[in-house]
Structure 1
Amino acid sequence: MKATRDWFGDALVDVAADHENVLVVNCDLASATKTTRFKQTFPERFFEIGIAEANAIGVAAGLAQEGYRPFIASFGHFLTGKFLEIFQSVGLNNAGVVLVGTHAGLAIGKDGPTQMGLRDLALMRSLPNVEVLQPADGVETRAMLAYAVTHDRPIYLRLCRQPQREVHDQDYQFRPGHPDVVSHGTEVAVVTMGAMVPVVLDAVELLAPTGLRPTVVNASSLPLDVPATGDLLRQYRHVLVFEDHFIRGGLIDEIGRIVLGLDRHIRFHAWGVDDYGQAGSPEELYERYELDAPGVASRIRAVTGANTPEIGGSKQ
């Protein structure tokens, strides 16, 4: 089990070996963002800007305009906090920068809301030419990196801190914008992304004694393919979204708009972080916001199976 930031660090070195235009623009966080190995392998392609994300974004945009594929890495909260610079230098110029935001969601724990990446999706989704990618495991991380170096469009790559297991096999093929069904069920579709994918899969296992078997959808890249996603979701009576992000502006809004446009009535439910976040251990925080496996299972049960047996350990 590894965090997607760790898988990213390894995959970046691998793709850079085949693509000489790949560079790293660093913000004094090589150890935390896992770009140290890149620095050691390709020191002439590693640019240390220091604790100056705004400046680093301008440097990366300039390098992209000269034909390079720069990866600028920092905590997601800090990087997207320089939204004006991203808007002006990357977005408006359609500069081919890969913005790598690590420490997504609540898992930064005791460092608290001043460092939690909880609003980054809302910001990056607002830019019409920026793709958002959030891998669920190592297989998907490598597939996304291989994809990212094949074109020069702006990308925001959202990575997690917490270790997680693989949910894909080696035959997995990443298709941008396409909903990825990782577990098939009936009646209920649960949509999530990133580190929440294995959590939702664990919640589904907790629900097995109740007779509920939701389909689990990994929405790992945004914007989603609306026709493909709509065709998938219209098969279900309930669509639920769980995300490690504010309840506004992120995946919940993306899926809600798609469901709203369907030609049939579907019950839509969603959960995320409803305040600025808190300081505590990751385990305490995910339990507080009911984004751990028992909490997710309890939420699914509450809206879709009121007469099913209670789930041990979950909050009612």
Structure 2
Amino acid sequence: MTSTRDWFGTALVEIAREYDHVVVVNCDLAKATRTLQFKEKFPDRFFECGIAEANAIGVAAGLAQEGFRPFVASFGHFLTGKFLEIFQTVGLNDAGVVLVGTHAGLAIGRDGPTQMGLRDLALMRTLPNVRVFQPADGTETWQMMTHLATDRRPSYLRLCRQSQPEVHADGYRFRFGIPHVVREGADVVVFAMGGTVPVAVEAADRLAADGVTPTVVNVSSLPVDRATVARLVGTHRQAVVVEDHYLVGGLADEVGRIVLSLPGRPRFDVLAVPDYGQAGPPEDLYRRYRLDAAGIAARIAAHLQDAVR
């Protein structure tokens, strides 16, 4: 197992060999964001801006307007914290920048809420021309990187610190906006993203012992295809979103809007972070917020039980 930020660093070097318009704009975090390999292989295409995300975003926007495909990397919390600069220089100019936000969610652990990427999806989703990507494993990271290198749209790539197992079967092909079913089931459909996908699969394994068989869906890019989500929800009694993000503004809002538009309004539940987050070991934080496999399984079981009362 490895993290999607590690897969990103490896894939970045490989796509740069094929696409010489790919460059990196860094914010003094090359080791943490895994762009150090790129710096060593392509020093002339690596631009260090220091601890100055606002400047880095402006530099990246300028490079994009000159035909390059810049990947500007920092912690997701810090990078999207410069939302005004993203809005003004990337969004309004439709500049083909890939904003790479690492350390998404609670997994940064002891560094606490001042460094946790927990509100980044909410911010990026407000920009009408910015696409959001969050891979669930190495296979998907590689395919997304190829897509991003050959695309020209402004994008936000959200990456995790924690190691993750492969969840996609051989033959998987990433398609922007199309959710992918990684576990077929019944009873309830669970939508997850990034680091929560393998955890949702583990929760499904736990529930299977009690005769509950959730369908687990990887939503790896936004905006999501409404018809696909509507079809998946329509074939289940319940729908649940699990995300390593604030309760407001992320995947739950995206899926919830679709659910509310469906006839009969299926039962809908969300597991996410309802406060600013805390500092502590990652495993303790996921347990606290019931975003570990045991917590997700218990919440789904309770949700289903309430439905039959």
TM range (shorter): over 0.9
Cα drift, residue 305 of structure 1: 3.5
Cα drift, residue 233 of structure 1: 1.5
CA contact (8 A) 1:212 1:305 kept: no
Q: Distance in 2 between matches of 1:170 and 1:147?
A: 19
Amino acid in structure 2 at the alignment position of 1:95 = A
1:243 to 2:243 alignment: yes
Counterpart for residue 140 of structure 2: 140
Counterpart for residue 30 of structure 2: 30
Q: Distance in 2 between matches of 1:114 and 1:54?
A: 18
Q: Distance in 2 between matches of 1:210 and 1:33?
A: 41
Counterpart for residue 298 of structure 1: 298
1:257 to 2:257 alignment: yes
Q: Distance in 1 between matches of 2:264 and 2:90?
A: 39
Q: Distance in 2 between matches of 1:127 and 1:36?
A: 30
Cα drift, residue 265 of structure 1: 3.0
Cα drift, residue 307 of structure 1: 11
- TM-score, normalising length from structure 2? 0.98
- TM-score, normalising length from structure 1? 0.96
Amino acid in structure 1 at the alignment position of 2:183 = S
Q: Give the alignment of 1:50-61 within 5 angstroms.
A: 50-61=50-61
Amino acid in structure 2 at the alignment position of 1:283 = E
Q: Hey, which bits of structure 1, 4+ residues long, moved more than 3 A?
A: 305-308
Structure 1: tracts of 5 or more residues without a match: 309-316
**Deviation by residue 1:132-182 (Cα, 9 ceiling, x = unmatched):** 000000000001001111221000000000001111134110010001100
Secondary structure of the structure 2 residue equivalent to 1:277: coil
Counterpart for residue 313 of structure 1: none
1:114 to 2:114 alignment: yes
Amino acid in structure 2 at the alignment position of 1:205 = D
Structure 2: tracts of 5 or more residues without a match: none
Q: Which moved more, 1:145-154 or 1:24-33?
A: 145-154
Q: Distance in 2 between matches of 1:5 and 1:49?
A: 20
Counterpart for residue 200 of structure 2: 200
Q: Give the alignment of 1:1-316 within 5 angstroms.
A: 1-305=1-305
Q: Distance in 1 between matches of 2:304 and 2:206?
A: 15
**Deviation by residue 1:170-207 (Cα, 9 ceiling, x = unmatched):** 41100100011000001210001000000000101111
Secondary structure of the structure 2 residue equivalent to 1:24: strand
Q: Distance in 1 between matches of 2:254 and 2:306?
A: 27
RMSD (Å) for aligned C-alpha atoms: 1.2
Q: Distance in 2 between matches of 1:181 and 1:170?
A: 14
Report how many residues are paired: 308
Amino acid in structure 2 at the alignment position of 1:274 = P
